[in-house]
């Protein structure tokens, strides 16, 4: 069994490394991109389905495994536990996977990564779990709503308690059913080189479905690409970027104008940076700052691919602005602050297991500091847009309320997008609009300060 050509073993290798490294899943997938791309289309799809599905349904799978294991879940070595999860996931959630194939492959993998004894253990547990998992009852929602949500919809108990209290049981279940569904891939046409209709025609034969986004004017949602999108000619020619519809809308809320001086204060990999560059038609200046040099390297490569030439990158900690940068102010600033990422769990299923309750308050404190720090760089009469991929109040309204109470030189402003309210607040949830969960607020600096 060779991880280079066996999709299941490659999936297990990625899951184990992701668990051990503590890095986000996308970083681990990046490390194994060559191996994944070398697989046949069907095998690559299988590997990705197992990786994302096993992480997405981890808590639920553990609940189903526990009654058939003599060892507690916490007592099982991580590699063997992921082998069990993968085997059961294929049986419970994937069509056309015979039980015998899922079990036998899991046993062989267990022997490969551990020993013969591990293979016997995996065989014993999966033989029972794959055929009798329907007998395992979920917790009674009448007795403990949060426990029922945690085990049936596969999220940590602390988050289940938080969301059932906040949303109520039915809305919480609807939200999680959306989060646990497989989202479409959303891309944005690069209008410097093409338009949405032309791009859709170019990609039509390479994907199963392709539809225009409802609220973002340049977006397309695609499903089941026959080839990874970044290997298509359209991508190589810089005709699009991958970007969720909600984040496309946030860029339009910044509303950058050709000729203006713009700051993307926490630029990351450059999705919003590229969008602003095309809106500005390469006229004016965009400063893209981030603390992570690796991300900025990717960003520079992206701008070159897209044909965007008005972006300058700088390695910068938004908590510690270099005094030299406090000279010429910016017309508009986007602060896409570091956050829990609890609004994008459908695309990043691993994040639900790496976040804790304490992360919300810890990151909210950082968000307040960054926003206040960056605000000094916007000119009088200028605009600042605060955004996070989280729907938690501590990272949303409470950050803005704190900022406006602290900074009397700023006030909220409305904008023209129909999904934003009169106070400049924009908010999305996966279960209501089919987008990732995002929050943003638009504020203006007083001319009199």
Q: Is the pLDDT confidence value at 23 over 90?
A: no
What is the mean predicted confidence (pLDDT) over 24-31?
Answer: 92
Q: 266 catalytic, yes or no?
A: no
**Based on the domain organization, do 270 and 402 belong to the same domain?**
yes
**Based on the domain organization, do 222 and 261 belong to the same domain?**
no
Residue 376 lies in a domain: yes
**Based on the domain organization, do 232 and 315 belong to the same domain?**
no
**From the candidates 172, 266, 339, 389, which is the catalytic residue?**
389
Residue 111 lies in a domain: yes
**Based on the domain organization, do 410 and 293 belong to the same domain?**
yes
Taking the C-alpha atoms of residue 356 and residue 338, their distance in angstroms, rounded to an integer, is 15
Q: Is the pLDDT confidence value at 295 over 70?
A: yes
CA 12 to chain centre: 21
Q: Is 333 exposed, middle or buried (0-12, 13-18, 19+ CB in 10 A)?
A: buried
Domain boundary among 113, 137, 161: 137
What is the mean predicted confidence (pLDDT) over 99-121?
Answer: 91
Residue 179 lies in a domain: no
What is the mean predicted confidence (pLDDT) over 51-74?
Answer: 97
**Based on the domain organization, do 251 and 233 belong to the same domain?**
no
Please choose, from the candidates 268, 275, 265, the residue with its C-alpha nearest in 3D space to the C-alpha of residue 295: 268
Please choose, from the candidates 306, 276, 304, the residue with its C-alpha nearest in 3D space to the C-alpha of residue 288: 276
Of the chain, the percentage scoring pLDDT greater than 90 comes to 89
Which DSSP string do the residues of 300-348 spell out, in sequence order?
HHHHHHHT--SEEEEE--TTS--GGGSSSPEEEEEEE-----TT-TTT-
Give the model's pLDDT for residue 96: 84
Taking the C-alpha atoms of residue 421 and residue 397, their distance in angstroms, rounded to an integer, is 13
Task: Give the tens place of pLDDT for each residue, 67-92.
Answer: 999 999 999 999 999 999 999 999 99
CATH of residue 69? 1.10.940.10
Please choose, from the candidates 445, 444, 263, the residue with its C-alpha nearest in 3D space to the C-alpha of residue 336: 263
Give the model's pLDDT for residue 22: 79
Residue 38 lies in a domain: yes
Q: Is the pLDDT confidence value at 117 over 90?
A: no
Give the model's pLDDT for residue 2: 52
Residue 158 lies in a domain: no
**Based on the domain organization, do 437 and 366 belong to the same domain?**
yes
Q: Is 420 exposed, middle or buried (0-12, 13-18, 19+ CB in 10 A)?
A: buried
Q: Is the pLDDT confidence value at 279 over 50?
A: yes
Q: Domain residues for 113?
A: 7-137
CB 181 within 8 A of CB 214: no
Span of 34-43, 229-238, 412-421 with lowest mean pLDDT: 412-421
**Based on the domain organization, do 236 and 266 belong to the same domain?**
no
b/e burial code for range 397-406 (CB count within 10 A of at least 16 → b): eebbebbeee
Give the model's pLDDT for residue 1: 44
**Based on the domain organization, do 57 and 201 belong to the same domain?**
no
CA 352 to chain centre: 11
Close Cβ partners of 351 (under 8 Å, ≥ 6 residues apart): 24, 340, 341, 342, 344, 345
Domain boundary among 224, 242, 260: 242
What is the mean predicted confidence (pLDDT) over 360-372?
Answer: 97
CATH of residue 412? 3.40.50.150
Structural domains of the chain, count: 3
Query: Rounded mean pLDDT of the chain?
Result: 94
Residue 166 lies in a domain: no
Task: Give the tens place of pLDDT for each residue, 161-208.
Answer: 999 999 999 999 999 999 999 999 999 999 999 999 999 999 999 999
Q: Is 393 exposed, middle or buried (0-12, 13-18, 19+ CB in 10 A)?
A: middle
Residue 310 lies in a domain: yes
**Based on the domain organization, do 274 and 417 belong to the same domain?**
yes
**Based on the domain organization, do 203 and 295 belong to the same domain?**
no
Give the model's pLDDT for residue 212: 97
**Based on the domain organization, do 96 and 207 belong to the same domain?**
no
Residue 259 lies in a domain: yes
Task: Give the tens place of pLDDT for each residue, 336-347.
Answer: 999 999 999 999
CATH of residue 228? 3.30.70.1170
**Based on the domain organization, do 327 and 417 belong to the same domain?**
yes
What is the mean predicted confidence (pLDDT) over 396-409?
Answer: 96
pTM: 0.94
| pLDDT bucket at 242, cuts 50 / 70 / 90 | very high
Q: Tell me, what DSSP letter sits at residue 284?
A: S
Our CA angle for 218, 390, 158, nearest 5°, is 145
Composition of the chain by helix, strand, coil, percent to 5: 50, 15, 35
Give the model's pLDDT for residue 416: 74
What is the mean predicted confidence (pLDDT) over 210-223?
Answer: 96
| Residue 107, number of CB atoms within 10 A of its CB | 22
């Amino acid at each position: 069994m060779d991880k280079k050509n066996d999709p299941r073993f490659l999936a297990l290798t990625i899951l184990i490394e992701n668990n051990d490294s503590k890095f986000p899943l996308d970083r681990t997938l990046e490390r194994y991109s060559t191996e994944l791309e070398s697989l046949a289309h069907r095998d690559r799809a299988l590997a990705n389905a197992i990786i994302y599905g096993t992480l997405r349904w981890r808590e639920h799978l553990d609940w189903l495994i526990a009654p058939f294991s003599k060892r507690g879940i916490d007592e099982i070595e991580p590699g063997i536990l992921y082998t069990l999860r993968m085997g059961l996931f294929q049986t419970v959630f994937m069509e056309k996977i015979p039980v015998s194939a899922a079990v036998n492959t899991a046993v062989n993998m267990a022997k490969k990564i551990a020993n013969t004894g591990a293979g016997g253990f995996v065989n014993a547990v999966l033989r029972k779990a794959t055929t009798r998992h329907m007998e395992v009852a979920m917790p009674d929602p009448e007795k403990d709503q949060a426990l029922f949500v945690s085990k049936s919809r596969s999220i940590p108990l602390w988050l289940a308690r938080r969301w059932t209290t906040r949303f109520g049981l039915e809305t919480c279940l609807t939200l999680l059913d959306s989060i646990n569904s497989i989202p479409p891939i959303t891309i944005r046409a690069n209008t410097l080189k093409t338009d949405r209709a032309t791009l859709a025609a170019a990609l039509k034969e390479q994907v199963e479905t392709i539809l225009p986004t409802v609220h973002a004017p340049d977006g397309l949602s695609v499903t089941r690409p026959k080839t990874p999108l970044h290997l298509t000619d359209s991508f190589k020619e810089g005709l699009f970027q991958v970007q969720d519809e909600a984040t496309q809308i946030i860029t339009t809320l910044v509303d950058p104008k050709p000729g203006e001086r713009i700051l993307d204060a926490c630029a990351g990999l450059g999705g919003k940076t590229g969008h602003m560059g095309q809106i500005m038609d390469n006229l004016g200046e965009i400063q893209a700052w981030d603390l992570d040099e690796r991300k900025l390297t990717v960003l520079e490569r992206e701008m070159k691919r897209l044909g965007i030439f008005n972006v300058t990158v700088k390695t910068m900690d938004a908590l510690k602005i270099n005094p030299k940068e406090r000279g010429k102010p910016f017309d508009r600033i986007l602060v896409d602050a570091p956050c829990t990422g609890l609004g994008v769990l459908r695309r990043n299923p691993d994040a639900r297991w790496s976040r804790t309750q304490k992360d919300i308050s810890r990151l909210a404190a950082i968000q307040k500091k960054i926003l206040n720090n960056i605000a000094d760089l916007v000119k009088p009469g200028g605009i600042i847009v605060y955004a996070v991929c989280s729907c938690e109040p501590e990272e949303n309204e409470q950050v803005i309320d704190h900022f406006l109470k602290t900074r009397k030189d700023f006030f909220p402003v409305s904008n023209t997008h129909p999904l934003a309210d009169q106070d400049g607040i924009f908010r999305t949830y996966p279960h209501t609009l089919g987008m990732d969960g995002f929050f943003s607020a638009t504020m203006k600096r007083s001319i009199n300060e």
